[in-house]
A and B are shown apart, each in its own frame.
Chain A
Amino acid sequence: MPATEGVHAKTRLWAAISVISNVAGNSALTHGMHEPGAIGNTPFALIAALFHPWVALGVTLLIVWTFAHMALLSWADLSYVMPVTAIGYVVTAFAGKFFLGEIVSPARWAGIVLITAGVTLVGRTAPASPLEGDSR
């Protein structure tokens, strides 16, 4: 497998791990935060919310996301990783449709098409810029 294809494959794998852990983590966190009494207004209440089961699951998944994001940024550009992982917005919309039965309005479909086109366009660029003196 040529080196550039290897980088693309590795980047796609870690981008997928990053997107899935981020979407699942944020969903669990949002679900937990909207449960009555999960969060108060003081800093202590915010920390106490971390021990709520859904919030704890969300935080664990967001730790996985942090590691995957760091790994990606160790070889790929920020201006590549940031837009490519934006496919998470589309995954969230489809998860809402299939798991929660949410209706995807025409505006949402337009958003899905625009984001997918943007991610595809950025995904066609080389993940890392060839910089002088760069160790990557």
Chain B
Amino acid sequence: MKWVLVVMCILATTVGDVFRSLGMRHHGEIRDFRPGAIGAMLAAIARNWMVIVSTCAMAVSFFSFMKLVSIAPMTFAVPMSAATFIPETLLARFFLRENVDWRRWTGIGLIVIGVVFIAQ
């Protein structure tokens, strides 16, 4: 059960983050943070299919993680949540075509190792 939740959580978070990035890139940079503009932005992104896929995936991720922390210790759940960094960085580089230079690869490597330590 624990490992099923871990796999669900990693897959759903990865899909959620990648589609959120795609959807928001398609929407364009948010520059106006007044309440009316935020309302209009939310109405626009509610019709963006990439954001809808992302939101559904994030809901799966949220409920899986909620269930995971209720049955497993945080020392297990927290490092598992950081496992998404690896597939997400690979997808950011090869699918989203982002400029992932050595500083980003090294930084992400340090963070993943750090999360394993910090959860002890």
| Residue ranges of A at the interface with B (Cβ–Cβ < 8 Å) | 29-30, 33-34, 39, 46, 49, 62, 66-67, 69-71, 73-75, 77-83, 86, 89-90, 93, 105, 107-108, 110-122, 124-126, 129-131, 134-136
Contacts and interface: CB of A to CB of B under 8 A. Distances in A.
Contacts of A105: 120
A118 B29 contact: no
Contacts of B2: none
The main secondary structure of chain B at its interface with chain A is: helix
Interface residues of B, number: 52
A119 B20 contact: no
Contacts of B98: 77-80, 129, 131
13 contacts: A71-B24, A77-B96, A77-B98, A78-B92, A79-B104, A80-B104, A107-B117, A111-B117, A116-B114, A118-B107, A118-B108, A120-B107, A131-B98
Given A74-B30, A78-B96, A108-B117, A118 B110 contact: yes
Given A78-B88, A124-B103, A134-B25, A114 B113 contact: yes
B8 interface: no
Nearest to A78: B21
Interface string B98-111: 11110110111111
